[in-house]
Amino acid sequence: MGGRAGVAVRVEDLVKEYDGTPALRGVSFEAYEGEVLGLLGPNGAGKTTLMNILAGILLPTSGRAEVLGHDVVAESRAVRELIGFCPQETVAYEELSALDNVMFYAGLYDLPRSEAKRKARELLEFVGLWDVAKRPVREFSGGMKRRLNLAIALVNDPRVLLLDEPTTGLDPRARREVWRYIEGLRAEGRTILLATHYMEEADRLSDRVAIMDLGRLVALGTPEELKRSVGELSVIEIEVAELKPGLKEALAPYSENGRVLEDENKVRIYARDPDAVLPRAVEAALKAGAKIVAINITEPTLEDVFLKLTGRRLR
Amino acid sequence: MMGFRAVLAIAERDVKSTLKDKMALFWLIAFPIFMLTMSFLMWANPMPPVTLKVGVVCLDSTADWGNLTFTAHNVTEVMAQVNVTTEDGEVVKVFQLTDYGNDTEAALADLKGGKLDAVVVFPDRFSYNMSYGFTANVDIYVRGGDAYREQVATAILTRFFEELSDRTAQARIEVAKRYMPPNTPPLVIDWMRGLAWPVNATVHTVVPEALVGKAGLRGWFSIAMAGVEFLIAGMTIGATMIVEERDKKTLRRLLAAPIGPWDLLVGKTLSGLLWLAISALVCVLYGLAWGARISWDPLANPAHALVPVLMLLGALTSVGMGLIISMAARTAKGASGLATAISWPLMFITGIWLPKWMLPEPLRALADYFPLTMAIDAIRDVMVFGKGMEAVLPVLPWLAGMAVLIYGLGALAYKLVLRRSL
């Protein structure tokens, strides 16, 4: 998609420091109109700081950013009129109803009352909350609150949506539900910047992914491009009953460049010729005392990309 | 540029949230009702008249002679009939008498034992001396140990016998006139009066305004309670304005909307002012329900039209003070606690809840210049004590200046807290 549409968000050498501590160290990228750009990185990568600057909440230390041609510092109010911002926290007032909340936020965008009412109904229907619109938000589940967050972010019908970790803390079912609504928004042609530390989320929802780490943008491309950057490698994923000390070291000689990724009770190694490597890796694992539960040969994920780029795991 | 609709939306949202907050409603509505009820029952009543328990001992052998014009028994009868009528029309006897015959020892024993407040002893020949124009002595014993009761008993009994003495003197002069030649110059009669009353002091009772009757006292307390609400709730509203949004995690989202920081401040201040007005109205209506003397009639008294202005200035001052102290708080709970910790002592030492005349001198000086106290005093002057513009106009410039200064400083503090909260 990049290159075909106009630029919706332009970030140039953006730096943000908190009392001398850098949170963003010269980030530059462009997001095109109608695309979903995933900002993937672990906690502390600078995603939320970047979102806050784009939303006009924080001032950058240096560098500049534009949203739909408006400078986020000099034309902050114009930017805030154009964007929809969905922070990771529940932004609804829990003591009020969903309807009251959407109506309130609509008022902040100078919508007349009748228009706000119509908009609130439309949005609550969109996120499937109209039936419970008059219930206090405190009675909502985590997933319902995130959907309400989305509705609130859409109250001004924004062309650019900033979604900051919209599914953090949700169970997988609720997360998939939120994804469905984000996909619906993508289908409407809105530009979406999606900050997340879930690689499945970035992979599934993003047209392009910007990988961030320690305040830097370390890679940018489509998920496929990024995964290809790992090399023509396959991933051998060995699931064990229990991760034992020494297993990682035992498998390292069989993985390309010695990279071994441990994740819960799974170990991932990388191989150009998985059929040849697999028997020897299994033997090494058994010798290291591992009780093998399952073996999969898969393609690399964004997690693997992150590991390759930073030497560390995403989470 | 300030967005009118955004400000209204913020104010409306804040009002609705407060409406759902049981604790806030307690402090704004239930607390003043509770405090006023307690005050009306405990303090807002004029002191009832005192009834003295008096033992009477008669050692006068002439009291029962039968041919005397005024005897010790007559004095006792008069004492038994002395009474006062209260504001509510209740008739209260001043003396509750107990006859001890001629047993002085028993009477004094009861006095020491606390059964009596005083003992009146009529010595021998009291009746004779009274009837024949001589000096009739009376011995009065008053129980000590409680300076207040002692003073009261002494004053009442002394006053009674002075009155008795005066009337007796008047009667004696009238009798003496009958035996004088018809051409006796009036100057002689006046001279005789001078002998009887060398000094004629007239006592006028002046009651402090705050203590003028039950209705006045209740009016005083009702307005005082509104002042307490302005102080405590106003400071809390100011102190929690930003940190509450930060705690609720709504602040970032609010600031991502196309509103300015002043929209947020003005919207939340409007909501706070509305709740303070409601709380003040509750105080006034509840006071009126208890018969408090509170009036508001701007047509009859133009000073009443300035009461909302006084309230606004007082409320802005309190909210401004809250905004300033919010700089020292990290959480809404902390801000609320800090506001309470500061406002409660202020409630007493600035003369908002206690009359200023009850304060020691240095605190009275503080109360004299504390803007909220001035506002409340002025409101009370016009609404309870019926004063006019003379009670409002002198304090208005100072109040307006202080409200602008304190709320202005509060707004600066608000900006700092806002920046720190992101």
The answer to whether B6 contacts A111, with C-beta atoms less than 8 Å apart, is no
Angle made by CA atoms B281, B285, B288, in degrees to the nearest 5: 145
Chain A interface mutation, best of B2, B244, B250, B263, highest count of A Cβ atoms under 10 Å:
B250
> Does ipTM surpass 0.85 in this model?
no
Tell me the average confidence (pLDDT) per consecutive run of 10 residues in chain A, 315 residues long.
Answer: 72 94 95 95 93 95 96 95 94 96 95 93 94 96 93 95 92 88 91 94 95 94 88 84 88 86 84 87 90 88 84 71
Instruction: Read off the pLDDT of residues B290-313 as tens digits, 9 standing for 90 and up.
Output: 999 999 999 999 999 999 999 999
In this prediction, residue A233 carries a pLDDT of 79
Task: Give B321 to chain A, closest Cα distance, Å.
Answer: 26
Candidate from A96, A109, A112 with C-beta closest to B17? A96
Task: Give B8 to chain A, closest Cα distance, Å.
Answer: 8
Rounded Cα gap, residues B138 and A10, in angstroms: 107
Angle made by CA atoms A193, A199, A202, in degrees to the nearest 5: 25
Instruction: Read off the pLDDT of residues B166-197 as tens digits, 9 standing for 90 and up.
Output: 999 988 898 888 888 888 888 988 888 888 88
Around Cβ B191, how many Cβ atoms within 10 Å? Answer: 10
pTM (predicted TM-score): 0.75
Residues from chain A that touch B17, judged by Cβ atoms under 8 A, are 93, 95-96
Q: Which of B353, B294, B326 is nearest to B31 (CA)?
A: B353
Instruction: Read off the pLDDT of residues B34-46 as tens digits, 9 standing for 90 and up.
Output: 999 999 888 766 6
Is residue B215 within a helix (H) or strand (E), and if so which, with residue range?
Answer: helix B213-248
CB pairs under 8 A between A and B: 86
Instruction: Report the mean per-residue pLDDT for chain B.
Output: 91
Query: How confident is residue B325, by pLDDT bands cut at 50, 70 and 90?
Result: very high
Helix, coil or strand: residue B123:
coil
Phi then psi dihedrals of residue B56, to 5 deg: -115, 125
CATH tag for B52-205 (out of 3.30.70, 3.30.300, 3.40.1710, 1.10.3470): 3.40.1710
In this prediction, residue A307 carries a pLDDT of 80
CATH superfamily membership of A7-227: P-loop containing nucleotide triphosphate hydrolases (3.40.50.300)
In this prediction, residue B266 carries a pLDDT of 96
Q: Which of B320, B326, B296, B415 is nearest to B371 (CA)?
A: B320
Q: Which fold has domain A232-299?
A: Alpha-Beta Plaits (3.30.70)
In this prediction, residue B211 carries a pLDDT of 54
The answer to whether A100 contacts B6, with C-beta atoms less than 8 Å apart, is no
In this prediction, residue A1 carries a pLDDT of 44
The mean per-residue pLDDT over the stretch B214-240 comes to 94
The answer to whether A107 contacts B16, with C-beta atoms less than 8 Å apart, is no
Residues from chain A that touch B24, judged by Cβ atoms under 8 A, are none
Residues from chain A that touch B6, judged by Cβ atoms under 8 A, are 107-110
The answer to whether A57 contacts B8, with C-beta atoms less than 8 Å apart, is no
Residues of chain B with CATH 3.40.1710: 52-205
Contact B296, B304 (CB under 8 A): yes
Query: How confident is residue B212, by pLDDT bands cut at 50, 70 and 90?
Result: low
Chain B interface mutation, best of A81, A93, A108, highest count of B Cβ atoms under 10 Å:
A108
In this prediction, residue B90 carries a pLDDT of 85
The answer to whether B21 contacts A95, with C-beta atoms less than 8 Å apart, is yes
In this prediction, residue A315 carries a pLDDT of 64
Residues of chain A with CATH 3.40.50.300: 7-227
pLDDT-wise least confident of A222-231, B96-105, B341-350: A222-231
Rounded Cα gap, residues A36 and A181, in angstroms: 13
In this prediction, residue B44 carries a pLDDT of 63
The answer to whether B254 contacts A108, with C-beta atoms less than 8 Å apart, is yes
Rounded Cα gap, residues B412 and A15, in angstroms: 28
